[in-house]
Amino acid sequence: MMQPEQAVLAGVEETGISPAPESSPGKSGAPAVILQGLHKSFGNQIVLDGIDLTVKSGETLAMLGRSGTGKSVLLKLIIGLQQPDSGSICINEQEIVGLPIDAMNQLRKKMGFLFQHAALYDSLTVEQNIAFPLKRHTKMTENEQTTRVKELLAGVGMEAELKKMPSDLSGGMQKRVGLARALALEPGILLLDEPTAGLDPITSGEIDELILKLQEEHDMASIVVTHDLHSAKTIADRLALLHEGRVVIEGTFSELENSTDQFVSEFLKRDS
């Protein structure tokens, strides 16, 4: 059985109805993701209680917050894997709340995502995992796919692991493969959920460098959820700290450091 995350990656919700018109690709500096007044509860539990955030093309926003504050939920709303109770999510100037699934699938082709638990297809090799979105969403020939898969894996230092199964990879390697798959369709928007969690400092540093390199090479709007402050400082232009369903502060790392808000300074102290 596929996990919901894997189903989204596979685009299996496709209905076969004619695709929505292509939205314009992100230009540098143009808002790629705009969140306004987002609310999300599960039963009595209010998780997101009015989130406003904008991420522009060419910019990386690090999303910080304690465990259980709704960071992964926020990314899932942006991908359309979950629906908000109220509020607006604009992707490349298109409202996605209430968007029909076939139009959402079209839009998702422009979004690369790495879920918190990589969500690789267990029964496919590394090579087949990366080729999957290419097979599904492009008209590439087998040869073109093979070349592209090799390029993508080389980009994350995983070209030697082509034939391995995900279960035979370490956690860090699975994240790298997930990252390569997220980049397969050259997305304008990149969403990464804890790309360095559970990794040793050296591997984390390598992933950070990789993310920085990708930012230089592609003009993406990126949201990176992380609890790793060092990583956030390295890769992000701006940071946003979630607490009790809201963004308590948003700004550069030094703006956060200079904040007089007690929760912000405690969060930075505890995590540094």
Residues lying near Mg ion in the complex (CB under 5 A): 72, 116
> 272, 267, 270, 269: which is closest to 242 by C-alpha?
267
Nearest approach, Cβ of residue 108 and ligand ATP (Å): 19
Nearer to ligand ATP, 39 or 218 (CB): 39
Nearest approach, Cβ of residue 72 and Mg ion (Å): 3
The Cα-based distances of 216 to 24, 57, 135, 140, 264 in angstroms read: 21, 12, 27, 26, 30
Query: In the structure encoding, which two tokens stand for residue 251, read together?
Result: 């700004």
Nearer to Mg ion, 114 or 184 (CB): 114
Nearest approach, Cβ of residue 61 and Mg ion (Å): 16
Query: In the structure encoding, which two tokens stand for residue 236, read together?
Result: 């992000």
Nearest approach, Cβ of residue 70 and Mg ion (Å): 8
Nearer to Mg ion, 103 or 211 (CB): 211
Residue 233 binds which of ligand ATP, Mg ion, none (CB < 5-8 A, kind-dependent): none
Is 190:221 a contact under the CB 8 Å cutoff?
yes
Nearest approach, Cβ of residue 124 and ligand ATP (Å): 25
No. of H helices and E strands in the chain?
10, 10
Residue 65 binds which of ligand ATP, Mg ion, none (CB < 5-8 A, kind-dependent): ligand ATP
Q: Give CA–CA dist 159/169, Å, rounded.
A: 13
Residue whose Cβ sits closest to Mg ion:
72
H-helix segments, the chain:
4-10, 71-79, 101-108, 126-137, 142-155, 171-182, 201-217, 229-235, 253-257, 262-271
Nearest approach, Cβ of residue 118 and ligand ATP (Å): 14
* DSSP secondary structure of 172-233: HHHHHHHHHHHTTT--SEEEEE-TTTT--HHHHHHHHHHHHHHHHHS--EEEEE-S-HHHHH
Chain residues in the site for ligand ATP (CB under 6 A) = 42, 47, 65, 67-73, 116, 227
Is 251:239 a contact under the CB 8 Å cutoff?
yes
Nearer to ligand ATP, 47 or 236 (CB): 47
Residue 218 binds which of Mg ion, ligand ATP, none (CB < 5-8 A, kind-dependent): none
Nearer to ligand ATP, 164 or 233 (CB): 233
Nearer to ligand ATP, 62 or 152 (CB): 62
Residue 110 binds which of Mg ion, ligand ATP, none (CB < 5-8 A, kind-dependent): none
